[in-house]
Amino acid sequence: MYYKSALLAASILYTASIAAHAQNTQELDQSDIYGDLSEYLSWPMSATAFSGTDLSIMNKFSDRDLADVIPNYSKTDTGIGSFGDVSSMRGLTNTPFFSSASVIQYVDDVPSGNIFSHTSPLHAVEKIEILRGSQGTLFGVNSYAGVVNIASKRPSNKFEGSISSSFANYDARTFDSYIMGPLNDDNSLSFRLGVQHFERDGYLKNSILGISPDHQDHLSGSGSLYWNISDDWEISLSASYDDYNDGASRLTSLSSDPFVLNSDIEGSSEQSAQTQSLRISHEGDSVNFLSVTSRRNWDISPYHFDLDFGPNPGNESRIYQEQDIVSQEFRFSSNNDSNVEWTAGAYFGDTELDGNTDRKFIVPLPPQFGGGFAPAATTTDYTLSENTYAAFGQITYNGIDRTGFHVGLRLDQFEKTIDRNAVGLSGIVDPINLENDYSFASPRAGIDFELNDSSLVYVNTGLSSKPGGFSAFIDDPERAVFEEEESWNNEIGLKKKWLDGNLKTNIALFHSDIDNYQVERSLIATDYAVLNAEEANSYGAEIEFSAELAEGLTVQGSLGKVHTELTKYTDPLTGADLSGNKAPFVPEIDASLSATYQHENGLFARIELIHKGEIFFDDRNAGTYIEDGYTVLNAAVGYKAKSGMELSLFGTNLTDEVFYLNMTPDLNAGTVGAPQLVGMKVKWEY
């Protein structure tokens, strides 16, 4: 509905292959599950899309917010950016530390790196796509479970922009602005600049120090310069910067009141990230080309927290990390009306993560040393390096009426090393200097049938893999190594429009057989391991719908159900049989239901229910570390004038539900969800 012809050429490149068969019908091409953005109902995969206008009305400001309305997609929250977060899509996850991401984020064709470097809020978004299931034959970075693909607004031949500000309780304030437009008369040079600021007071109360320690202060800026050399060549330079000066994480001891903290340490988390990219695209007579060169640097310095969450002095941890990623991606795709469409590409990435962890303890002294307690400390320095090489491609054949055949292949080579030095409680620890290579091929095949002008059935099958690696938070070199994870994925789906297009539905069933499922385990306050469950499986269903009940009134909903079980799992540390346990960080069920009303005079209103089901936070399924489920009510009402001025009132978690977004078993602590927030937003688009 607000789709612009100037959307990124890269979106055209990779959608050409998977949606080429849609040339047989124009009925499906103009509809998707959430608006008239693109041909998602004709894609042979589970895909959901939102426009920037959708995000504004929905009050969704991050990929974590968006996960609430996407079936079988979730993201935990530590309260300090994305550091230590876990993304789950159809039961496939990452561990909080050291494993590769399963869900990949792209912003304007630039990969964001590991999940903990996803600090940027959603800003000046044209559209965002959530693609469930492995997309390794279409993207350069290995997307084991799925992709969150974000496209920013593009300048046109006139100046455009937006200024918005919001205010809420806890003294929460945001400012968001961007401007874009031409730099010369022929529009061959154009630009976009944006800035965003957010701050709030803390939700928690520290009864020892008398403060609210988890305050936040975020500043982000970005800019892009576009040069259209000719009608079919474009070069763009982009840069962004994020600065997060936060207080303590929202991690508190599991208790009857999770908003109360009894710590003698204030805590802090300071993070920054910067990205630079060069993008070159060409639309040829028969072949399209895209090159993206990027660098992303992220650091946390430090993350400081209390190890015992109590008034006892001397138990604390400081974590410093810096990650630098340099990547190069090439994509080619066909650009003709042939029955055979193809896309192909190559990717190289060089990642280096440097870290230091200092921990202090108060330890008991043995009787021969007089008893009592004494201070002790550990320190760990480490470097994790990774080189990634990949080639990928997919071919679509549409020579049979209303039928599309898809085959693809991805080849990956990962070279990983660890260099670690540590001083433990007993003195100097033997250094760990290891290297491992991981190579795998990931084939994929699918077929889709357009039953009629409003119905598409598809079947996909394929193999996906995620590399192993090293944990730097453990002294034992054998325990520091974890193996690659491999999944055979199958999916069948139906996409259909009903009632003359007023009702649109996406339905999918999926099943994955998984070898060496990666799980995390915190052993003691100083050791952290990534373990492998020998076998696991994940199966489930997801439903999305969008119904126009009356002029201006739309009801939307989603339902996701997934069962991810560690079917064969002997605890490598204790020998206990954990077979049959549920995988951690995977909600058993999730659902959303919303109603949005937009009147032609500018009035709008939205009400939304979000539900998350039972979720375990450790592989042993201990009853203490489980969120039983929760339901959250959100709402907004406002007015948007034709001049571009907008005023709205919003509320999130209106019933003030108390729930956990994350738990850390070894610390007996968890991250509580945000309390009730009520505020006002003013916005001007011009």
Q: What confidence category does residue 63 fall into, taking pLDDT thresholds of 50, 70 and 90?
A: confident
Give a yes or no: residue 612 inside a domain. yes
Structure tokens belonging to residue 619: 């592989």
Tally of structural domains, the chain: 1
Give a yes or no: residue 3 inside a domain. no
Range 253-266 average pLDDT: 92
Q: What confidence category does residue 7 fall into, taking pLDDT thresholds of 50, 70 and 90?
A: very low
**Number of helical (H) and strand (E) elements in the chain, helices listed first:** 3, 40
Give a yes or no: residue 679 inside a domain. yes
Give a yes or no: residue 463 inside a domain. yes
Peptide bond into 665 cis (omega under 30): no
* 485 or 79, which is more confident: 485
**How many Cα atoms within 13 Å fall on the side-chain side of residue 179?**
3
Helices (H), 338-436: none
Give a yes or no: residue 426 inside a domain. yes
- Percent residues over pLDDT 90 in the chain: 79
Report whether pLDDT(21) > 90: no
**The residue type at 633:** L
Structure tokens belonging to residue 342: 């193809």
- Percent residues over pLDDT 70 in the chain: 93
Report whether pLDDT(11) > 50: no
Residue-level length of the chain: 686
Give the distance from CA 277 to its chain's centroid: 20
Conformation bin of residue 314: beta by default, left when phi > 0, alpha when psi is -120 to 50: left
Secondary-structure percent of the chain, ordered helix, strand, coil, rounded to 5: 5, 60, 35
What is the per-residue pLDDT for 44? 83
Instruction: Report pLDDT digits (tens) over 320-357.
Output: 999 999 999 999 999 888 899 999 999 999 999 999 99
Flag the least confident range among 144-158, 384-398, 425-439, 523-537: 523-537
Rounded to 5 degrees, φ, ψ at 218 are -120, 135
Please report where in the chains the tokens 């300090």 appear, as a residue. 80
62-90: burial string, b at 16+ Cβ within 10 Å, e else: bbbbbbbbbbbbbbbbbbbbbbbbbbbbb
2-41: burial string, b at 16+ Cβ within 10 Å, e else: ebeeebbbbbbbbbbbbbbbbebbebbeebbbbbebbbbb
What SS3 state is found at 14?
helix
Report whether pLDDT(123) > 90: no
Instruction: Report pLDDT digits (tens) over 648-667.
Output: 999 999 999 999 999 998 88
Range 466-486 average pLDDT: 96
User: Mean pLDDT, the chain, as a whole number?
Assistant: 90
Please report where in the chains the tokens 């894609």 appear, as a residue. 43
Give a yes or no: residue 92 inside a domain. yes
Give a yes or no: residue 1 inside a domain. no
What is the per-residue pLDDT for 256? 86
Give the residue among 151, 115, 123, 299 at the shortest CA–CA distance from 220. Answer: 123
Residues in Cβ contact with 431 at an 8 Å cutoff, skipping those fewer than 6 apart: 419, 420, 421
Instruction: Report pLDDT digits (tens) over 558-579.
Output: 999 999 999 999 999 899 999 9
- CA distances 36 to 2, 54, 149, Å, are 8, 11, 17
Give the number of other Cβ atoms within 10 Å of residue 161's Cβ. Answer: 18
Report whether pLDDT(3) > 70: no
Structure tokens belonging to residue 188: 């061959």
* 643 or 27, which is more confident: 643
Instruction: Report pLDDT digits (tens) over 159-206.
Output: 999 999 999 999 999 999 999 999 999 999 999 999 999 999 999 999
What is the per-residue pLDDT for 525? 59
- CA distances 645 to 24, 597, 605, 638, Å, are 42, 18, 16, 11
Instruction: Report pLDDT digits (tens) over 353-383.
Output: 999 999 998 887 777 777 778 888 999 999 9
Give the distance from CA 351 to its chain's centroid: 19
What is the per-residue pLDDT for 666? 85
Structure tokens belonging to residue 455: 């119905």
Rounded Cα distance between 239 and 225, Å, is 9
Instruction: Report pLDDT digits (tens) over 499-524.
Output: 998 999 999 999 999 999 999 998 76
* DSSP secondary structure of 465-499: EE--EE-SS-S-TTTTEE--EEEEEEEEEEEEEEG
Range 255-278 average pLDDT: 93
pTM, entire model: 0.91
Residues in Cβ contact with 680 at an 8 Å cutoff, skipping those fewer than 6 apart: 166, 167, 168, 647, 648, 649, 650
What is the per-residue pLDDT for 313? 84
What burial class does residue 656 get, using C-beta atoms within 10 Å of its C-beta: 0-12 exposed, 13-18 middle, 19+ buried?
exposed
Q: What confidence category does residue 26 fall into, taking pLDDT thresholds of 50, 70 and 90?
A: very low
**Residue 369 maps to which CATH number?**
2.40.170.20
Q: What confidence category does residue 23 fall into, taking pLDDT thresholds of 50, 70 and 90?
A: very low
Report whether pLDDT(24) > 50: no
Give the number of other Cβ atoms within 10 Å of residue 231's Cβ. Answer: 7
What is the per-residue pLDDT for 6? 33
Conformation bin of residue 474: beta by default, left when phi > 0, alpha when psi is -120 to 50: beta
Range 536-564 average pLDDT: 97
Give a yes or no: residue 4 inside a domain. no
Q: Provide the residue range defining the domain that includes 550.
A: 9-685
